[in-house]
Copies of this chain bind each other. A is one copy, B any other.
Amino acid sequence: MLTIDEIARLAQVSPATVSKVLNNRLYVSAETRARVERVIAETGFVPSQRARGLSKRRSFILGLLIPYTSDQLFADPHLLEIMRGIEAVANLREYNLLLSTARAANEAASACARMLRSDVIDGAIVVETLDVQPFAEVLAQQSASWVVIGYARQSAVPSVHADDYGGALQATRYLLELGHRRIGVISSVPRPFALEERLRGVIDALAEAGLCLDKQLVAQGDLSIESGAHAGQVLLAQPYRPTAIFALNDRMAFGAARAAAELNLTIPDDLSIIGFDDISLAKLLTPALTTVQQQGFAMGKAAADTLFTLLDSVAPEPSTVIPAELIIRGTAGPPRG
């Protein structure tokens, strides 16, 4: 294998000098630098990262931890966009990305701790698909650098999340503007904190219009399509039924659409539906689903930026909120009559 010593020999300088050139250090004469660079180019030499890491005490690798149950991951709308955002930043810093998709949260947390201790990774980004608490406990001890994409409530970890509250506010206001007054909501039990925020957005938007959230018009699902269909049936079976349904995630919105179809209700004429997430299938519903989009790329980018801030030992923003945007497509319109 080509080593720095070999390059030094070919360029007739010391390994230390080659190292200086490699690291863009000052105090190397222009001609020496040129000579070394030529040899490097000719040989295609790439320095060994692990030797470099051993000296620099860095691995130049970031861990991306996605604790998941396969079903969740498939459903996650913007995970890939998040990854792209992280990668974009990591590339600039010449960092690589290590992927870990452990199953249970505590299992993932200890795997993460191991990678940190064995210095395989310099820091980690944890996607809050499961409970973040186990990570907080394990990683706080070893004063590790990490950030969570999601809500890191009690723990003091920097976090990045979408503006769930604002997104729900927009969606609800839109329905109100269209003229809806009886707006059904499909929420979830147990409720991830993001949904808690979305629900708060609904309530506040209704309050702006002088309305209260009618308990009768809130049905609970479990985030799945099936549960959305069931919740939709419940809402639509009411004597004085809602003219619009805001499902707090897209999959449940799909379910609601199915429930409407079973009752021969036309969307959006008989029933408006809005979802949240903008999963890739949202466009495939007919009509296409009006929903709230999260900016995965921006979230990934922000998370990586935050992590590098930590690695540079400067205090990062405790939390970053990425805007969410209402995407108007075809499932919401003015109520009939």
Contacts and interface: CB of A to CB of B under 8 A. Distances in A.
A46 B81 CA distance: 33
Contacts of A81: 70
| Secondary structure of the A contact surface, majority rule | helix
Copies of this chain per assembly: 2
Interface residues of A, number: 42
B54 A83 contact: no
A115 interface: yes
Nearest to A51: B54
A96 interface: yes
A84 interface: yes
Contacts of A114: 46
Contacts of A118: 46-49
A258 interface: yes
Contact of A74 (B48, B51, B80): B80
B101 A98 contact: no
Contact of A96 (B50, B75, B98, B261): B98
A246 interface: no
Given A50-B53, A50-B119, A100 B101 contact: no
A335 B186 CA distance: 40
Interface string A44-87: 10111111011000011100100000100111000011011001
A252 to B, nearest CB: 13
Nearest to A120: B49
B281 A119 contact: no
Contacts of A60: 120
A332 interface: no
A284 interface: yes
A154 interface: no
Nearest to A281: B281
A80 to B, nearest CB: 6
